Amino acid sequence: MADQGKILDISTHDLKVAAPTFSKQSTDLSDALVALKTALGNLGSPWGDDKQGKAFHAAYAPNEKAIKQSAGILVDGLASIHLALTDMADGHIDNDELVRQMFSKVGRRNEGGKGDQGGHG
């Protein structure tokens, strides 16, 4: 193979290099989410009791739980991308090795003059 870093035109190196980025972003988003929850919890209802504050609260309060849960889903999603990219790279390496072994067995069988001569086995 001319390019040992690529298997089936997929760069396993690139997959493995990119994977930790998603883990870091997941951690960063998780930290930001904790900071937001803490800050909002400490502030109570900082939007005030005027017309605009009441309008914001009317839109925000019913959705607050869903907003926080959605952010948590994003945190988990980013972490799972890290795992998926790593698994994908490992899977391509394993698959390439399996294909290499299959073809090397066929090559050895045919080299000895005992290849497929119209029969089975």
> What CATH code is carried by the domain that includes residue 62?
1.10.287.1060
The whole-number pLDDT of residue 37 equals 84
> Has residue 111 been placed in a domain?
no
Which tens digits make up the pLDDT trace of 3-16? 555 445 667 788 88
- Looking at the chain, the whole-number percentage of residues with pLDDT higher than 90 is 13
Asked whether residue 109 is assigned to any structural domain, the reply reads no
Residue-wise pLDDT tens digits, 42-76: 887 788 889 998 998 899 888 988 988 998 899 99
**Is 99 inside any structural domain?**
no
Pick the residue with more confidence: 3 or 31? 31
Q: What domain count does the chain have?
A: 1
| Alpha-carbon span 72 to 111, nearest angstrom | 58
Residue 33 within any structural domain of the chain: yes
Residue 67 lies in a domain: yes
In a domain, 107, yes or no: no
Residue 33's alpha-carbon distances to 49, 68, 75, 111, in angstroms, are 26, 8, 9, 63
Tell me the residue range of the domain where 42 lies.
Answer: 7-94
- In this prediction the pTM is 0.54
